[in-house]
Amino acid sequence: MTEQFTTEFAGDGTWSEESDWEVVDLEDGTDGEAHVPVPTVAVVGRPNVGKSTLVNRIIGRREAVVEDIPGVTRDRVSYEANWSGRRFLVQDTGGWEPDAKGLQQSVARQAELAMQTADAILLVVDAVVGATATDEAVAKVLRRSKTPVLLVANKVDDGRTESEVAALWSLGLGQPHSVSATHGRGTGDLLDEVLAALPETPREGIPGGGPRRVALVGKPNVGKSSLLNKLSGDERSVVHNVAGTTVDPVDSIVELGGRPWRFVDTAGLRKRVSHASGAEFYASLRTKSAIEAAEVAILLIDASEPISEQDLRVLSMVADAGRALVIAFNKWDLVDEDRRLQLDREVDRDLVRVPWAQRVNISAHTGRAVQKLVPALDTALESWDKRIPTGRLNNWLKEVVAATPPPMRGGRLPRVMFATQAGTRPPTFVLFTTGFLEAGYRRFLERRLREEFNFDGSPVRISVRVREKRDRRGR
Ligand SMILES: Nc1nc2c(ncn2[C@@H]2O[C@H](COP(=O)(O)OP(=O)(O)OP(=O)(O)O)[C@@H](O)[C@H]2O)c(=O)[nH]1
Ligand SMILES: Nc1nc2c(ncn2[C@@H]2O[C@H](COP(=O)(O)OP(=O)(O)OP(=O)(O)O)[C@@H](O)[C@H]2O)c(=O)[nH]1
């Protein structure tokens, strides 16, 4: 088929004559997403049982935050780990207050979240202390988990504590695995068990399985860290990520609108990338890879300043990568009436390429309208995932083309024969024609396609396959 048709393909939905010729594989419209899902192991448990120490042990480094103060692990962050040649992410959880009355509830919530997001769960208890009421409460939640749960009896530094371990069978989660996170005792055996418990296909690899992946991007100083902190409801999370001292957490799981979202590669945000020479180049590479790993990007633009080249460069990265897009105009608290009018003009001038992008005006500083990000993300992702049945698509196409036929080209009237949706994420369409369609007409078709089927927040890719003359000779 590829020999009979030539394909014109424009990556950002704005079809252009100058674009490269490329062939779309009808079988796989996902056009080779770079992201390879790896399984996630969540580590849950009440404060001070040694979760962070265990995580450090698993990732084979010592730098992550461990302090003898309950509640030091403030956030849910994932680290990359490797055991027996298998890669996975270890997710450290925390974020509750030391003496909060709601501790049990808070730990139970972490467990719930792990059940929704992880591929395996480690419930860590302190074998020296034994099962507390909080451990029992969280075990109760985890007993109905479909995700495999391993009970870890920590602080078994020597044989003496082994007897206490047997008592932990009472939690109803099967055999307790004794380890000493500080000394490494038993952790190898534990990891063997963890690998055995992990499913072949990580949750992320299953459509609708894991939390949606979000890249938070924008030029330096637009407020990315501030927004991430606001969203994770935790101003202190930046504090313990002093530059250069901690292991890079890879992703952050943030709960928004009652659901978990995976903010990819937030390490740079929390650590404050330095702006030394060359840093910009690496920041740009990092932005690019974050976008590629994500399904949807939140592009932050500083609303208090004119839209800049740099903003548009990041915007192009998102559009070129074919990811869903939400544009958040941040620092809205600094925007007065004059600036607002000016911004409207800048948007008309600079954002014509993405009239479909979801837009919200927020302030990471005051928290204004940040809750509007969730419906915007939902809309964008729904469009990004959308599939139009071939019958509906062609009924629509027939009507549109009948009402407004394409203009003549080279003395001939090109016929639009048929259309199909070759893929989703982003929606990718192929039109089969008997001649080239003019740029203006292609834009018209895309506009009508969007009006009819509503792809708000998502780019749409359309390619035209022109049936060439040599194909007709045989007839
Ligand atoms: N003896 C002994 N102490 C341990 C072991 N694992 C952790 N600890 C100590 O227990 C304390 C708490 O460890 P963390 O790793 O910070 O515990 P956590 O569960 O992450 O705590 P939060 O951050 O409060 O949730 C620290 O003082 C650790 O040194 C162990 O295997 N044996
Ligand atoms: N007035 C106002 N200031 C903000 C807002 N959001 C962030 N800021 C300020 O803008 C500055 C930069 O914010 P950051 O969150 O560090 O920005 P960033 O995008 O993470 O910056 P880089 O780490 O350089 O990429 C800080 O001084 C923030 O306090 C906002 O909504 N309103």
Residue 293, pLDDT score:
86
Local confidence band at 278 (pLDDT 50, 70, 90 cut-offs):
low
Would the CB of 279 count as within 6 Å of ligand 2?
A: no
Q: Give the residue with greater pLDDT, 207 vs 179.
A: 179
Phi, psi of 141 (to 5 degrees): -65, -45
Pick from 23-32, 283-292, 333-342, 436-445 the range whose average pLDDT is largest. 333-342
Token digits of residue 30: 């996902």
Token digits of residue 179: 């380890």
Question: CA-to-CA distance for 177 and 190, rounded, in angstroms?
Answer: 7
Q: Give the residue with greater pLDDT, 383 vs 247.
A: 383
Find the 248 Cα to ligand 1 centroid distance in Å: 20
Within a 10 A sphere around the Cβ of 15, how many other Cβ atoms? 23
Residue 46, annotated as binding a ligand: yes
Residue 154, annotated as binding a ligand: yes
Q: What pLDDT, in 10s, does the model give residues 387-434?
A: 999 999 999 999 999 999 998 877 888 889 899 998 999 999 999 988
What's the CATH architecture for 212-382? Answer: 3-Layer(aba) Sandwich (3.40)
Question: CA-to-CA distance for 117 and 432, rounded, in angstroms?
Answer: 41
Would the CB of 223 count as within 6 Å of ligand 2?
A: yes
Phi, psi of 429 (to 5 degrees): -120, 150
Residue 168, pLDDT score:
95
Pick from 44-48, 107-111, 299-303 the range whose average pLDDT is largest. 299-303
Residue 426, pLDDT score:
94
Percent of the chain past pLDDT 70, that is, above it, reads: 77
Q: What pLDDT, in 10s, does the model give residues 436-455?
A: 888 889 899 999 999 999 99
Pick from 28-37, 66-75, 108-117 the range whose average pLDDT is largest. 108-117
Whether the domain at 5-33+387-423+425-471 and the domain at 40-200 fall into the same CATH topology: no
Which residue's CA is the nearest one to ligand 1's atom 8?
50
Q: With contact defined as beta carbons under 8 Å apart, do 44 and 114 qualify?
A: yes
What's the pTM value of the predicted model, to 2 decimals?
Answer: 0.72
Residue 160, pLDDT score:
81
Question: CA-to-CA distance for 401 and 406, rounded, in angstroms?
Answer: 7
Question: CA-to-CA distance for 171 and 379, rounded, in angstroms?
Answer: 42
Find the 67 Cα to ligand 1 centroid distance in Å: 7
Residue 204, pLDDT score:
72
Token digits of residue 257: 């609108």
Question: CA-to-CA distance for 334 and 283, rounded, in angstroms?
Answer: 26
Q: With contact defined as beta carbons under 8 Å apart, do 215 and 290 qualify?
A: yes
Virtual torsion, Cα 381, 382, 388, 392, nearest 10 deg: -140
Residue 89, pLDDT score:
86
Would the CB of 201 count as within 6 Å of ligand 2?
A: no
Q: Where are the domains of the chain?
A: 5-33+387-423+425-471, 40-200, 212-382
Point out the least confidently predicted range of 105-119, 129-143, 408-422.
105-119
Atom of ligand 1 nearest to the CA of 53: 15
Q: Give the residue with greater pLDDT, 42 vs 78.
A: 42
Residue 164 above 70 pLDDT? yes
Within a 10 A sphere around the Cβ of 432, how many other Cβ atoms? 15
Find the 297 Cα to ligand 1 centroid distance in Å: 36
Residues 309-316 have a mean pLDDT of 95
Find the 43 Cα to ligand 1 centroid distance in Å: 13
What's the topology of domain 40-200? Rossmann fold (3.40.50)
Question: CA-to-CA distance for 278 and 144, rounded, in angstroms?
Answer: 51
Token digits of residue 171: 């939690």
Which residues fall within 8 angstroms of residue 19, CB to CB, at 6 or more apart? 8, 9, 10, 11
Residue 472 above 50 pLDDT? no
Reduced to 3 states (helix: H, G, I; strand: E, B; else coil), residue 337 is helix
Indicate which ligand has the atom closest to the C-alpha of 124. 1
Question: CA-to-CA distance for 437 and 230, rounded, in angstroms?
Answer: 48
Residues 328-341 have a mean pLDDT of 97
Residue 94's nearest CA partner among 122, 72, 127 is 72
What is the residue whose two structure tokens read 């056009």?
A: 31
Would the CB of 334 count as within 6 Å of ligand 2?
A: yes
Question: CA-to-CA distance for 257 and 264, rounded, in angstroms?
Answer: 18
Question: CA-to-CA distance for 73 and 66, rounded, in angstroms?
Answer: 8
Task: Assess if CATH 3.30.300.20 describes domain 5-33+387-423+425-471.
Answer: yes
Q: Which residues pair with 259 in a beta bridge?
A: 256
ipTM > 0.85 for the complex: no
Question: CA-to-CA distance for 153 and 130, rounded, in angstroms?
Answer: 9
Residue 4 above 70 pLDDT? no
What is the residue whose two structure tokens read 């996630």?
A: 40
Virtual torsion, Cα 367, 368, 373, 374, nearest 10 deg: 70
Residue 26, pLDDT score:
39
* Cis bond upstream, residue 426 (ω within 30): yes
Question: CA-to-CA distance for 6 and 23, rounded, in angstroms?
Answer: 8
- Residues touching ligand 1 (Cβ under 6 Å) are 45, 47-53, 66-68, 70-73, 94, 154-155, 157, 180-182
Local confidence band at 232 (pLDDT 50, 70, 90 cut-offs):
confident
> For all residues of the chain together, what is the average pLDDT?
81
- Amino acid letter at 19? S
